[in-house]
Amino acid sequence: ALTLLPPLGSCARPPCPCPDASHCALPAWAAASKRREVFGFRTASGGASWEAYDWTRLTTLAWVQPEDAQAACYAHAHGARAVSKARGVNATWLATADDSELRRLADSLAEDAHDRWLDGVNFDMESPLSPEEKEDGAARDAYTKLVRHTAARSRALLGAAAQTSVDVAWAPSGVDGRYYDYVGLADAADLLFVMAYDAQSQNTQSRCLASANSPYELVRAGLEQWSAVLGGAPDMKAKLVLGLPWYGYRYACDWSAGPPGGDTSPPLCVLPSVPFRGASCSDAAGGEVGYAKLMATLRNASGAEVRRDPASRSPSFQTTDAATGVTQYWFDDAASLSVKVALADSGG
């Protein structure tokens, strides 16, 4: 028997899930637009919080889940893309995957986006590469091939406006062991989302201290490194999207003192050592806290005041409780975010 497969780009889709069928696809004006990219993520907590996003600015909503069909409809109604998260991707699997396996996964990722009326795929692999993997390049090269195959298959199924993006660390210098082929990834993908946060994941301080989630100087240095790695080519630099946090960290201090010199900087908060990927200190000593919860904590804490660290240009406050001791919170607000947005503006 002869089985005829449909040509690329003509696969049948499930019925449109949107009440208004015109919202099942990205509007033509948005697909052709060269707007500045404003890339946001679906919150992990679920709910309909995406409706409260600023849809006059947002251009892409990432990590749309199968149960989120209406989020994709809402995004399209406002001229924004909706993209899925690539699952099943890690360095261990990539190290042994051959080209046919990479293509099968790429096909699956693109077809899932197609079947759910989405506009592309976002990759967020954060697996470290071992010294052997870093040297022989098997996992590194396979990751680049997978992204390239997915981008090609997505364009075939979804059209030229399909978007393939890759989340990358705040700097291309092997942060957390992520020694990837960043030039190849930038060439294969439509954009690189620079995660300019969780900067305390590996900290080699002589003693472990609570500090900023997204310190200004590290963000600035990271963007300069990205520009250098990509060769300063305008078409490659244009693929960089600066990712900034709308959450912070809560740290239980072993002890607290200061601030140094009696100024208005945050007090020192000494933490227990929680090693991570070769570093003796890490943000794993604390826990992530959403901005709304941080502000509620600040409002309800007696005597708590926001202090700004001049080095990181980030705000912090701390609370004291007879049962739990001293807790220090680091976060970002409009003031700390605006100086980092200015870095993206000045860097083009």
Residue listed under structure tokens 């244009």? 238
Considering only CA atoms, which of 221, 150, 153 is closest in space to residue 185?
150
CA distances from 72 to 24, 44, 63, 203 (A): 8, 16, 10, 39
DSSP H or E run through 326: strand 325-330
What sign does the CA torsion over 199, 167, 243, 218 have? positive
Give the amino acid at 167.
D
Among this protein's residues, is 126 annotated catalytic? yes
**Residue 193 pairs with which residues in a beta bridge?**
167, 241
Give the span between the Cα atoms of 197 and 218, in whole angstroms.
Answer: 9
The single residue of 101, 126, 132, 288 carrying the catalytic annotation is: 126
Contacts of residues 25-29 at CB distance under 8 Å and 24 or more positions apart, as own/partner, are: 25/76, 25/117, 26/76, 26/79, 26/80, 26/81, 26/119, 26/161, 27/76, 27/79, 29/79
What is the full DSSP assignment across 217-266?
A: HHHHHHHHHHHHHTTT-HHHHTTEEEE--SEEEEEE-SEEE--GGGSSSP
**Residue 168 pairs with which residues in a beta bridge?**
194
Strands 325-330 and 314-321, sheet pairing: antiparallel
Q: Which residues contact 124 (CB under 8 A, 6 or more apart)?
A: 85, 86, 167
Question: Chain centroid to CA 44: how far?
Answer: 13
CA distances from 330 to 101, 265, 271, 284 (A): 43, 12, 14, 14
> What is the number of alpha carbons within 13 Å of residue 248 lying toward its C-beta?
26
Q: Which residues are catalytic?
A: 126
